[in-house]
Amino acid sequence: MSLTTQTTPSQLADRFAAVRALSLALAAPLSEADTQVQSMPDASPTKWHLAHTTWFFETMVLEPAEPGFRPHHPAFRVLFNSYYHAVGEQHARPQRGLITRPGLAEVLAYRAAVDARVLTLLARNPSPDTLALLTLGLHHEQQHQELVLTDLKHLLACNPLRPVYRPAPGRGAGAAPPPPPPGWIEWGGGAVDIGHAGAGFAFDNETPRHRHWLAPHALADRLVTQGEFAAFVAEGGYRDARWWLSAGWDWVCSQQVRAPLYWQADGATGWQVFTLHGLQPLAAAAPALHLNLYEADAYARWAAAHSGRALRLPTEAEWEHAAVNASAEPPAGAPGLQDPASDWLHPQAARAEAGPQALPRLGQARGAVWQWTASAYSAYPGYRPWQGAVGEYNGKFMVDQTVLRGSSFATPRGHARLSYRNFFPAQARWQFSGLRLACDL
């Protein structure tokens, strides 16, 4: 599988500048200490994200392309390598937060120096390989931009002072009325083609496009809301083994889980939720988030028992097929994070559509929260990882991970595709992850 792009050097230079600037904008409200600390092994410090994304351009783009390449700092090759064995050793992941030197200023200088070298390279008619790797580097940095927010939120939530990353840009979804029950987008089954096609960028794991047989099913036209999930909590959902996968129940019992991550009981008013805008009252109409697979799956089983319908999580093929065919894309283009200084950094209630719709629509397909599927993350038939070190990008994680589809409010605009395959372990709950129900027909 070769990595290619059809974007021109000049277009790429513009995108490069914009993407790199967004990372800095995300870090802008933070102190040096905020950017330094690692709150758990799975999360990384903002400073590390800023450095690692730079390392990626330096190592994957500059090193093979610059004549007489010399590293910005020889130690960074190890220090900011995440998991590329082909590049060499890596600094231990759980110890990323201990690296106080280089300091933030040095990391920002590293960014600036690599930026200059990349732009110089782009101005010199680089090879198609360079352009392709640079394009990958941009998508890579966009992935880390979302992680900056999820990791930072986890850190701030560890602080009993409940620090505010940025004040809320408005009144929020707290007062929106709960939505009506979902409508269902039905499909009678049969062979469909799944996976990325066409000339645009896609990760190797979205290819090759291939045929898949779908059984008859329906997908809800909206996500499960916080209010709906609160009903599951209130009815004792976390105390009843019936709803849980075996490993999920072990997790609930051993961790004494009683509610989603970042919910805190407030005697007077019910639940408060910690957000990047500080503590907010639970917004019943907004999509549920910070669920792990166990919680998403348990909710579906509970909802099935209550409704008498064969509710479950959708498979990723069902999701992609519905998203492509049921006009998932809003007219205004793919949603997502654009300006961290003004955007909401918490999902809001879905807005009613302005007018009559010709087709059923897979609402909140993108730009709300990532949606757990019933599909384990595995290779598509005929899958080949990219050649070289970037072959480690996706392929080696294809075990014990589950696919999430869509994108979230924190996914940078222009990053996700309908064929996009996000993946996390079943117990991960610090991501912006929720669920949509499916139903056997």
Nearest residue to 100 via CA among 148, 35, 39: 35
In the bound state with a second copy, the residue whose beta carbon lies nearer, of 72 and 212, is 212
- Residues at the contact surface with a second copy, assessed by CB under 8 A: 31-37, 39, 47, 75, 78-79, 83, 85-86, 91, 95, 97-104, 155-156, 158-161, 163, 191, 210-215, 217, 241-242, 244-249, 293-294, 297, 310, 312, 374-376, 378-379, 381-382, 384, 396-400, 402, 425-426, 440
State the Cα–Cα distance between residues 291 and 20, nearest whole angstrom.
Answer: 30
* 155 versus 283: smaller Cβ distance to a second copy: 155
Q: What is the largest CA-CA distance in the chain?
A: 68
State in angstroms the smallest separation of the CB of 225 from a second copy. Answer: 24
Q: Based on CB atoms, which residue is closest to a second copy, 322 or 349? A: 322
Instruction: Name the residue nearer to a second copy (CB basis): 204 or 412.
Output: 204
From the list 80, 40, 31, the residue with the least C-alpha distance to 59 is 80
Is 207 or 327 the residue whose CB approaches a second copy more closely?
207
Choice between 286 and 345, CB closer to a second copy: 345
Backbone Cα Rg of the chain? 22
Residue 119 beta carbon to a second copy: minimum distance, rounded to whole angstroms: 28
All residues at 6 or more sequence positions from 159 whose CB lies less than 8 Å from its CB, including other chains: none
Q: Least separation, in Å, of the C-beta of 366 and a second copy?
A: 25
Q: How many Å apart are CA 92 and CA 94, to the nearest integer?
A: 6
Report in angstroms how near the CB of residue 135 gets to a second copy at its nearest: 24
CB 425 within 8 A of CB 391: no
| Contact residues for 183 (Cβ-Cβ < 8 A; gap 6+) | 220, 221, 222, 360
Other beta carbons within 10 Å of 159: 11
Nearer to a second copy, 11 or 90 (CB): 90
Residue 266: beta bridge partners? 270
**In the bound complex, what is the minimum distance in angstroms from residue 425's beta carbon to a second copy?**
8
CA 5, 146, 209, 379 dihedral sign is positive
| CA-to-CA separations, 67 to 58, 135, 311, 407, in angstroms, rounded | 13, 20, 58, 39
Residue 360: asked if its preceding bond is cis (omega within 30°), the reply is no
Least separation in angstroms between CB 37 and a second copy: 6
* Residue 210 beta carbon to a second copy: minimum distance, rounded to whole angstroms: 6
- Report, in Å, the least distance between residue 148 CB and a second copy: 14
Euclidean distance between CA atoms 120 and 441, whole angstroms: 57
CB of 35 or CB of 422, closer to a second copy: 35
